[in-house]
A and B are shown apart, each in its own frame.
Chain A
Amino acid sequence: METLIFDLKKQIIEALNLEDITPDDIDTNAPLFVEGLGLDSIDALELIVLMEKQYGIKLEDPGKSKEIFRSVATMADYISKNRKK
C-alpha cells in the first residue's frame, strides 16, 4: 500500500501540475479538496482521468466520488480494491 500511495502522490502532482510540491509534502490523510491541497472541480475531472488512465478504473457512480476523492488514503484504498491494471 505504501508504494501505491507514493506512486499516487507522484501521479497527482504530475496531473495537476503542482509545482514546488513533493510527495512528502502531501499528507496522506488530509482532505484533497477545499482544505489540504485546495483542489477544485476541474482537478476532480483530472483525477477521474488519472484513475482511468493509470489504473483502468471507470467511476460509474458519481455519488461515490466525494468519498473516493476525500484524501490520498481513500483514493489508494479504492484503487487497491478496484484496479484493473
Chain B
Amino acid sequence: MGVYIQAAAQISVQNPLCDDWLDNPIQYQVPYQRAIEADYRQFLDPVASRRMGRILKRAIATSMTVVTSSGITNPDAIIVGTGLGCLETTERFLLALVQEGEEFLQPTNFINSTHNTIASHIAVHLKCNAYNSTYVHLGVSFESALLDAFMQFQLGRIHSALVGGHDELIPNYFYILDKVGFWEGKLASECAVSFMLSDKPGNHPMARIREVVLLHDADEKRLDDAINQVCERLSTVRKDWISPPSVRPIFGESFTSQAFEMYAAAVKMQRGLIADNILLINQYRGTETSLIFLSKC
C-alpha cells in the first residue's frame, strides 16, 4: 500500500495557487502578515461566497485546485486540520454577542463560527458525502488530519482523500499571542494548503508519504527511537532521511505551518530540487511532535 500526493495547492503570504515562491519568494519585514487572496470568482459564485469568511474561500479555492489537478472529483474522505478554525467569523459573532447584549445575533456568523465549518463547506461544494472530519490540535492539527487519512489508507478503507491545513489570524489574536511572546520574532501568518492523496501513484505523483507519526511529550531518546523504528520498518537507516531547511520564513508561522513544509517538500521533490527521502519534524511548544516521512516517486 502506498499513499501518494497527487496534487497540492496553497494560499499564503506568497502568490496564491502557484509556485512563484520557489524562484521569487516575497520577503516580509513585518511581524504579522495576512495571506494574499486568490481570485475566488473562478471557484465560487457571488451568492455562495458572500456568506464565507476568508478562511472558507481559501479552503474552497485550494481544494478545487487540487481536485482539478488530480482529476479526483469525489474523494473518499475530506479531512481538515485547523488550529483556530474560522476565527474571523467567531470574533464577529462574539463581538455581536457582547455589543448587542446577546440579542440580534446573525445566523450566518453563528453557522460559520465552528471549526468543522471548513471541512463541511468543502464537502457541500464538492457534493461529497464521504467521511468528513476536522482535527483541532493546535500545532499538530494538520498532522493529525494527515495521520487519520494515512491510517485509513493503510486499513484499505479509502482510496483517495482531500487533506488540508487551514488557519487564519486576525489582528486581535496576533496581538494577544504577541504579548505573551508566542511568535518569538517569527513572521505570524495564515495557512491554506490542500492535498489530494490517493493509494495509486497515477501519472504524475508529487511524492509518496511513507509514514506519519505523532508523539506526545517525547524526549530526545523517544524521538530517536520513533525515527529508528520507522527507518527499520521501511528498510532504511537514519542517514537516508534528510530534514530540509524550514520554509516557515517564506510562508510564515501558523498552527498548521507544517502543511507548508509538506507542500514545499513535495513541490521540490517533484522537480528534483531536494533529496529523495525527506523527514519533516515538527516540535510544537516542546510537547507535541510530528514526523512525516516523504519519498520521491
Contacts and interface: CB of A to CB of B under 8 A. Distances in A.
Nearest to B111: A42
Interface stretch (A3-11, A25-33, A45-53, A77-85): A45-53
B46 A42 contact: no
B228 interface: no
A45 B104 contact: no
A45 B105 CA distance: 10
B104 A49 contact: yes
Contact of B107 (A18, A20, A46): A46
Nearest to A20: B46
Contacts of B107: 42, 45-46, 49
Contacts of A45: 107
B46 A19 contact: yes
B50 A49 contact: no
A16 interface: yes
Contacts of A42: 51, 107-108, 111
A38 B47 CA distance: 8
B104 A53 contact: yes
A49 B103 CA distance: 9
B106 interface: yes
Contacts of A16: 50
Contacts of A49: 104-107
11 contacts: A17-B50, A17-B108, A18-B50, A19-B46, A42-B51, A42-B107, A42-B111, A49-B107, A52-B104, A53-B100, A53-B104
Interface of B: 46-47, 50-51, 100, 103-108, 111
